[in-house]
Amino acid sequence: MKLFSSVNDVQNIDSLVAEALALKQNPHAYQHLGNNKTLGLIFMNPSLRTRISTQKAALNLGMQVIVMNLDKEGWALETQDGVIMNGTTVEHIREAAGVLGQYCDIIGFRAFPGLINRNYDYSEDIFNKFVTYCKVPVISLESAIRHPLQSLADLITIKEIWDTKHPDPSHKKIPKVVLTWAPHVKPLPQAVANSFAEWMNKANVDFTITHPQGYALAPEFAGNAKISHNQHLALENADFVYVKNWSSYNDYGKILSDGKGWMMDNQKLKLTNNAGVMHCLPVRRGLELADEILDSPNSLVLNQADNRTWAAQAVLKNILSL
């Protein structure tokens, strides 16, 4: 693997999940792989889980890690070609990426969407240019429209919990996974939802998305998922419920209503098959997800966060093994 930007960069998602779970059992088994190798983690937007879990994964592999927060105000990058840079951008992404690629063996890069121009965001312009100009393998730490390390960690979590509940190897049932939209006070990217959808569409699960009218994901991400605007119906017999807000794709970047009635709570949990409840974090308690679920054994949010380390380590190990 030379690029980890979407599920399409992964040859076999089941093997990658298996590799991550093996690393979780034996975190320091491949410390020689990263010897004298440097991972650069470049953030155009703030990060907590992604930064620390990826840093930890790299350290487990014996790598050196250099973190750089280039937030939009502090070190604004120019991404358009042919412009006269007499404004507020201080460096062109051609130089910034080119330079960073010389200092690092692998780079993790994060840039969020502007949520104003849909075509621009969905072209993944900044991320793709960074990949082009840095010339070393790149891992997405969340781009304008995808968050693949999160989705891999989510799939690891589903696999881990499902296999624990069904230890019999002859067991053939597949889990019902529901992605449900949730309310939020700020317009959020579609990245986590998009990415989760494209991974679930490739995974061996029965996948449903439920959201209010107007919140349909882009068709290339929704894919063949079952779509429902009736959250109650969608949740019936779910084994896993992924709760997440996103802003509208159609009325791009907008919040269409207050979303009242869409918060996941214990009453809705009763519709499910005692589902594991997931969220990528940070979660707004009492708005997206009820406290009663987050503080219950049904909550898998800490499992997901823990698995971020093993997701990142499996990806790094693959790139280091090139």
Q: Which of residues 232-261 bind a copy of itself (CB under 8 A)?
A: none
DSSP assignment of 65-83: EEEEE--TTTTPEE-STT-
User: Widest CA span of the chain, in angstroms?
Assistant: 66
**Ranges within 117-156 binding a copy of itself (CB under 8 A):** none
Output phi, psi for 18, to 5 deg. -65, -40
> Does 74 help bind a copy of itself (rule: CB under 8 A)?
yes
Q: Which position among 81, 168, 260, 297 is part of the footprint of a copy of itself (CB under 8 A)?
A: 81
Only segment of 2-10, 156-164, 244-252, 278-286 that touches a copy of itself (CB under 8 A): 278-286
Choose one: 93-101, 196-204, 205-213, 231-239; the region binding a copy of itself (CB under 8 A).
93-101
| Residues 6 or more apart in contact with residue 227 via CB below 8 angstroms | 208, 209, 210, 211, 216
Going by C-alpha positions, the residue among 189, 186, 181, 194 that lies closest to residue 245 is 181
Please identify, using beta-carbon distances, which residue of 102 and 250 lies nearer to a copy of itself. Answer: 102
The whole-angstrom separation of Cα 94 and Cα 102 is 13
Question: What is the CB neighbour count within 10 angstroms for residue 47?
Answer: 18
* Closest distance of CB 85 from a copy of itself, Å: 4
Residue the block writes with tokens 């503080």? 295
Question: Which residue matches tokens 């996941």?
Answer: 264
Q: Does 322 bind a copy of itself (CB under 8 A)?
A: no
* One residue of 8, 29, 95, 227 binding a copy of itself per CB under 8 A: 95
* Burial per residue of 182-197, b for 16 or more beta-carbon CB atoms within 10 angstroms, e otherwise: bbbeeebbbbbbbbbb
Span near a copy of itself by CB under 8 A; candidates 18-26, 101-109, 138-146, 267-275: 101-109
Q: Which residue lies nearer to a copy of itself by CB, 49 or 147?
A: 49
Q: Which residues bind a copy of itself (CB under 8 A)?
A: 27-28, 36, 38, 40, 46, 48-49, 51-53, 55-56, 59-60, 64, 66, 68, 70, 74-75, 78, 81-87, 90-92, 94-96, 98-100, 102-104, 185, 281-287, 291, 294-295, 301-302, 305-306, 309
